[in-house]
Amino acid sequence: MNGEDPQERPEQIRNIINGLERYNPQAADVLEAYLQQQCEEKFCDCNANRALLKLYQLNPDRIKDEVITNILVKAMTQFPSPQFDLALHLLSPSHSNPGPNSSSDLAEAVSKLRVLNAQLEGAQYARFWATLDSDDIYADLTTDIAGFEEMIRVRIAQLVSQAFREVQTSVLEGWLGLDSEEEVKKFVVETCGWKVDEAGLVHVPKNPENEAKKTEIREDVSVDMFSRVIKRAWEDNA
């Protein structure tokens, strides 16, 4: 799973999340600093971040709102994957489902992020960029995550390459949240290394995913499968 166990994870963190230290409320400080590092250095360790959410779950007095939202935004950059959902499951129900009578800032922020995430998971990329622009709160929520928009853009491009052999620049313009066809051309050529022809059609290099080759599923037969029949035959004779 994306962003589950990154190579960047230091020894100290590994010890915390794999041992009983993960239940020590003091470990929250270390994990918070580690999250900060992830935000700055553009990598993601959702497994370690869940350990932090678990500590918050057991010790609600330690909760820091901006840490929770940062974890969610980091998890969101791994779309499509269950990471965001797995993090949500660890939040207190009252934080992630704002009732009519219990509106807190955190609950509101979480519900806003859930909208964004649903758009990414649902591959409604143009709508995602529009939502992101629609409210200043999103700028606040993503400000700590270095290169947030760029990460999302690269990820979308990667997903497009797994489904498309050719795609119109106009479609990509909306999906990548860019302002002009020129910017799209610049992005796909420089960042992705794809080609654009005169008609404005972007050509994605061949890869196993965008080929959609015909395959036949064949039966795997191993000797082990016959073991019982052979055993039986032997026993009957004996």
Q: Which residues contact other proteins by CB under 8 A? A: 1, 20, 23, 47, 50, 54, 57-58, 60, 80, 82, 85-86, 88-94, 96-97, 99, 101-102, 114, 118, 121-126, 159-160, 162-168, 171, 174, 201, 208-221, 225-229, 232
The answer to whether the CB of 120 falls within 8 A of the CB of 75 is no
Report the nearest approach of other proteins to the CB of residue 181 (Å).
16
* Least Å from the CB of residue 195 to other proteins: 14
Cβ proximity to other proteins, 41 vs 209, nearer residue: 209
Closest approach of Cβ 42 to other proteins, in Å?
Answer: 23
Helix (H, G, I), strand (E, B) or coil at 36: helix
- The rounded distance, in Å, linking the Cα atoms of 237 and 127 is 71
**Other CB atoms closer than 10 Å to residue 78's CB: what's the count?**
19
Question: 42 vs 203, which CB is nearer to other proteins?
Answer: 203
Nearest approach, Cβ of 166 to other proteins (angstroms)? 5
Q: Which residues pair with 195 in a beta bridge?
A: 203
Q: Which residues of 185-202 are buried (b: 16+ CB within 10 A; e: fewer)?
A: bebbeeebebebeeeeeb
Question: Which residue carries 């910017």 as its tokens?
Answer: 183
Nearest partner of 55 among 40, 35, 37, 75, judged by Cα? 35
Task: Output the six-digit token pair for 5.
Answer: 């166990």
Could you tell me the smallest distance in angstroms from the CB atom of residue 219 to other proteins? 5
Nearer to other proteins, 159 or 196 (CB): 159
Nearer to other proteins among residue 40 and residue 206 (C-beta): 206
Give the nearest distance from C-beta 159 to other proteins in angstroms.
7
Closest among 74, 83, 220 to 148, alpha carbons compared: 74
Smallest separation (angstroms) from other proteins to the CB of 118: 6
Place of tokens 């166990």: 5
| Nearer of residues 102 and 191 to other proteins, judged by Cβ | 102
DSSP state of 76: H
Query: Residue 136 or 228: which CB sits closer to other proteins?
Result: 228
Torsion angle (degrees, nearest 10) of CA 36, 102, 112, 106: -10
